[in-house]
Structure 1
Amino acid sequence: MIESWRWYGEFDTISLQEVAQTGARGIVTALHEIPYGEIWPQAAIETRKAQVEAAGFDWVVVESLPIHERIKRGEGDLTQLFANYRQSMVNLAAAGVHTICYNFMPLLDWTRTDLNAPVAGGATCLRFEAVKMAAFEIHMLKRAGAEADYSQDVCRRAAVWYQQADDSRREALLASIMAGMPGAFDRYDVAGLREALQAYAGIDRTVLRANYNRFLQEVGPTADDLGMRLCVHQDDPPRDILGLPRIVSSGEDLDWVLNAYDSPSNGVTLCAGSLGANPINDVPAIAARVAERIHFVHLRNVRKDPDGAFEEATHLDDDTDMVALIRVILAEEARRRAEGRLDHNIPFRPDHGHHMLSDLGRDLIPGYPLIGRLRGLAELRGVIRALSS
């Protein structure tokens, strides 16, 4: 397994020199400064690659080459947007970067209600609080029908939270929900989010799947021709939110994705945390089910509450059996080696992490601290070494 590290380029206050001290060998990054839908220029890609390599790393995965919202909505003439996406793929391949992680989540990427939830020992973590999300949807956003998406108990507690929260707490909740869009150019206030959601009116699970299928048919042949690997990230959280459908949340969803464009180039970013946030998902079993098409892995763990809340745990603790999951990945690597494949090693990164120690005083991207991820990488490295022995 290739030890990798997500780095946000000029948006990241963690330097590549600091990342080098973690022992990671690969960098996972993107051109976050380029607006969604525009072509990634060859020169910009080469500049980023040279920057990564000068620090002693390989650029192993693009995370992400974003999909424009109009493609997700199937809105209007999409010819130029698809052409731009394909050209960015061509430019990346020319630079020797062949793995692209992306997602098909409508409007928002990962969603949390708390960016600094306390954990034992004084550290903090990312948390999705069902009660706060319900309070936001029902009382702040005033989304019609939102009550039906939550239990009566959660709705009751959400009303209490909203009544007791002052403006600063409500603003902090909105900011937390918006924070899961690193590198994006849109940030919404409540009125703006309400307006943005209107663009998705009438788009249900069936329509969103059809739009996703069109994307795969448009870019899949280019990936085949270039020898590229497209790998979809699961929804985070793996449930409908804000009235928007989520269609990459389970093993059955991944089966649909892989069958929609049945090619080795169409694969999966196996995210243990995203899948693990849904109690019905057996993450090691899902990994075994799609193992042949796993191109990239995010390893993190979550602790779930009965009401639908969850928070980031340390990497080896709580609800997902990380040892069992890594065993599945190592077995797939062994299978690929036995086939004689040169690309048998699968890149992974320690995903998210607790903000702890000196990171608590740094201006860091939420969920992406230095020390918390270093701890996770060290723990995962130990599991991998032991299972490989």
Structure 2
Amino acid sequence: QLFTRILDVQKSVRIVETAKGAKLNLDDADMFQRLAVARQTRIRQQACLESKWNVALAGMSDQISAAPEKRGFKLQREFGELLYKAGLWEEALEQFLRVQEAAPSNIEAMMALAQIFSKLGRTDGLVHLENEVKRICCDPEDFRLELELSSRLSKFKTEAQAVLTDVPVERRIENYAIWHLESVTAVSQHSAIYHLVSKDLKRGTPNPRGRGRSVWSKVWHTTLLAEVGANAEGPLPWVERDYTPISTSQEWERGHCDLLVKVYKDGQASLWLSRQPLGTRLWLSQPLRTLGVPSLVPQSELNETGFRPASYLLLLAGTGIVVAEQVLHHTETGKCFGASPAITSPIRPLHPPLQHPKS
């Protein structure tokens, strides 16, 4: 039995009851709290895997306040790490200072602080950490740890001094790259193709290769950060939405990406995107795997070659046709990932492939 979108306690209860084959005591407050913590942790772990920092950070402040001391300390450190990944260095610094106050000799927290101090050009903070290292590493017979930490702090101090004298370091969002809106092609009254370009080398590739890697064909997507401001999905000023490009992986590597987007009247991201002028700077995540090819199932890459369908029947509707466009890329030399197409079996779509409108 498959359970999806487990977003409330009631669904969690049903899953546990199904697994145990017995009814739970719904008057047990401790059980409800454990289920709530487990659900929050699962949602955060999945969001981190997908680099969705807004979703990952949602509700963490309240969770830290309500957690026992030991768990609260761990959550505080994780909170700081997520804020740093989202590019909020000052907020991350505040969290790690609290962690260090609670555990002055915690080396991981010290090094996290050092990294943030270097980004902010805070040499004073790094000098303080150097003194803390000398305090902690006071064993005259074992100075290896002190040498290692002092070396890392020296490197951070050099980076901090460069920040003070050079052009300020650009705030980055981990696993995201900068793109720009080049043009828009109307497809229908409510849909359009957004043509994006990028020179950001951090954009990654849907098809990592080289250094002995095997080619793992896939249907892939990217996550758009729609900067809508304050929202109910988390504390960050953006919402995160997945889109499957209709352009090829080769075009992505050349810095071009086409997104077919339907604008919904209550769609936060699509409405926001539809109102952006040409030249707007956008954040897109590095490509993420959606489905394996040729299996077209979300299974492990290690088992990918174990399932090869004899034929495919694609049932498509609306903007779901973008997936068909990518599937068909894997049937054509020059658009597929490897030297030859991964899909050679017959494909029958019940909706014609997307035709780009003539300009």
TM over 0.5: no
TM-score, length of structure 2 as denominator length: 0.22
Normalising by structure 1, we get a TM-score of: 0.21
Which structure: larger Rg? 2
